[in-house]
Each structure stands twice: as C-alpha cells, then as structure tokens.
Amino acid sequence: MTQNNRSPYYLHASLIVLSIVLIVLVAALFSRMLFPRVHTERADPDTFLSHVIQVEVLNGCGVPGIATRYTSLLRQNGFDVVSSGNFETFDIQESLVIDRRGNMENARRVARALGIPEQRIIREISTDFYLDATIVIGADHESLHH
C-alpha cells in the first residue's frame, strides 16, 4: 500500500473512534436524565459538633489544681476538655459557664453536669474560640458536683 491508500483507512478509523466516544457520551447523558443522582442534604456541621461538647476549664479561685480536677471529672462524664488553665483573675466567687458558640443547650448541659445554676450562664459568643463553653471554677467549687 502506498501513502495515499492508507489515508482513507486512518480517516475511517478516526471516524469510528470518534463515533464510539460520541455514543458513550450520549449514553451517559441519557442515563443521567433517566437515573438522576440522589442528592442528600448535608447536615449542618454544628449538628455534629453539638454531640461532643468541647469546653475549657479555667481556675478562677486560685486553688492549685482545681482546673485539673474538674477537667478529669468532665472528661469522665463525656465532655471534651480541650484546654485548662487559669482565668484572668482569682477572685471569682461563684462558678460560671460562658457560652462561646451560641448553643445555649450545650451550655446548659455543662452547667447541669457541674451543678451550676442556669442563671450563671453568660453568653459571650466569639468566632475566635473553637469550643462550646468556658467553665470558670470559682470559690464555691466545694458546692459543685464532684
């Protein structure tokens, strides 16, 4: 065969390959139309976060080791204590819970777990915090649930 005789074969082969690709694409299009994908709604990420309540425990009364003691207690009760340390002052008389994410139910659950009255839940929402609540242990720590 000469060069001129081969070009119709290449042309026919190219047309056959392109026809097959076109058939596959058209079949895919019709299968999408006949069997559309089922889209499930994505859950709000806060829904998942609210199942595990993330808190920080701060010592607001100056008693050495008090934040560590309540960190252990909260972890035993299923809370995720992400940090503990000292509050800005040690003159807090009554323990309190600070709601950081706007989910008052989570703040209430934390308060109930420790026996802190709901009146001592403060709402201080901040996008700088990646936790649900801050617990400040005050001088009344002996009256909290152990």
Query: So where are the chain's domains?
Result: 1-39, 45-143
Tokens 């936790």, located at residue? 131
Please report the sign of the dihedral spanned by the C-alpha atoms of residue 99, residue 114, residue 96, residue 131.
Answer: negative
- On whether the CB atoms of residues 70 and 57 are closer than 8 A, the answer is yes
Taking the C-alpha atoms of residue 76 and residue 83, their distance in angstroms, rounded to an integer, is 15
What angle is formed at CA 135 by the lines to CA 129 and CA 137, rounded to 5 degrees? 145
pLDDT of residue 2: 52
User: What pLDDT sits at residue 98?
Assistant: 96
Give the pLDDT score at 42.
47
pTM of the model: 0.65
Q: Which residues contact 78 (CB under 8 A, 6 or more apart)?
A: 52
Residue 50, pLDDT score: 46
pLDDT < 50 regions, the chain:
1, 39-50
Q: For the structural domain made of 45-143, what CATH number should be given?
A: 3.30.70.2390
